[in-house]
Amino acid sequence: MKNRLMVALDVADRKQAQNISQSLADDVGWFKIGMRLFVAEGPDLLRQVLQTHRVFLDLKFHDIPNTVAEAVASAGQLGVQMTNIHAVGGPDMMRAAASAASDFPHMKLIAVTVLTSDPMPPEQAKTEAVRRAGQAKEAGLDGVVCSVHEVAAIKQACGDDFLTVTPGIRWGSQSVDDQQRIADPATAIATGADYLVVGRPILRADDPRIAARQAVAMMSDAFSPSTAGC
C-alpha cells in the first residue's frame, strides 16, 4: 500500500523537503512535488528525491497546446514517473501533451478533472469529472486526478486501467482545510482509487511518520475481512 501513497511535499524549501522526505523514506513510495517547492528549489532537488523515490511532478500545465507539450517533454526528460495537465485545457491541448509524453514511456500523464477544492455541487462535479476524464482518455492520457467520490463513475466510463489519483484525503478529526470533496484512506482504496495524495494531514502531524503509517494501515484495512464487500 505504501506504493499507492503519494505524500505532497508542499513545503517552503530544500531543508524542509529533505527533513520530511528522509523521515518518511521507508514509509511511502512516492513524493509529489508541486508548484511551491518546484518554484522555490527547481529541478535539482527533484532529481535528488528521484534517487530514492518515485516522483509525481504536479504543476498542472494549462496553456496553448505547443507550450504544454514542450513542458510535458521537459518533465519526461527530468525522469519523473508522473506529471499532469488541466483537462479544461481541452482536447487539442491534451492530445498534444499525450503525444509529447509518448516519447517517455516511464512517465504517466494524467489530467486534473475538477479540483477537490472546487465548491461545485457534488453531483455536478461528478458529471463534469466523468466528461473531462472521457476527453482525457480519448486524447491518450493515462488517467486523471479526481476526488474519491468520482472514482467509481470514472472507472465505469473509462475502464479499470484508467488511473485515478485522489487528493482530498482526510481521516479522524483532521481539518478539512480548503478541500471540499474529501474521503478517508480506506474508502479511497475500497472505491478503487489507484493512488492517494496526502499533504497537510501528514505534513502538519505531530509525528509525520506515524500519520503516514496510519494512512497506509487504513489503506490496508480496505481489504481486511471485516470491511471486505463494503
Stretch that binds ligand C5P, among 68-76, 131-139, 186-194, 197-205 (CB under 6 A): 197-205
Q: Is 167 in the site for ligand C5P (CB under 6 A)?
A: yes
Which own/partner pairs from 133-136 qualify as long-range (CB within 8 Å, at least 24 positions apart)? 133/87, 133/157, 133/158, 133/162, 134/158, 135/87, 135/90, 135/91, 135/94, 136/87, 136/94, 136/110, 136/111
- Residues 83-122: x where in contact with ligand C5P by CB under 6 A, - otherwise, as a string: -----------------------------x--xx------
Continuous segment of H or E residues that includes residue 77: helix 65-78
CA distance 114 to 132: 8
- The C-alpha angle 183, 110, 204, rounded to 5 degrees, equals 40
Interface pick for ligand C5P out of 4, 5, 7, 10 (rule CB under 6 A): 10
CA distance 7 to 10: 9
For the bound state, the minimum distance from the C-beta of residue 200 to ligand C5P, rounded and expressed in Å, comes to 3
For the bound state, the minimum distance from the C-beta of residue 78 to ligand C5P, rounded and expressed in Å, comes to 18
- Residue 37 in contact with residue 9, Cβ under 8 Å? yes
Among 2, 15, 32, 60, the active-site one is 60
CA distance 88 to 111: 9
CB nearer to ligand C5P: give 29 or 103.
29
Q: Which of 106, 192, 101, 206 is nearest to 146 (CA)?
A: 192
Query: Is 60 a known active-site residue?
Result: yes
CB nearer to ligand C5P: give 169 or 183.
169
With CB atoms as reference, the residue minimizing the distance to ligand C5P is 199
Q: Is 21 in the site for ligand C5P (CB under 6 A)?
A: no
Q: Hey, which residues are catalytic here?
A: 60
Interface residues toward ligand C5P, by CB under 6 A: 8, 10, 34, 58, 112, 115-116, 145, 167, 169, 177, 179, 197-201
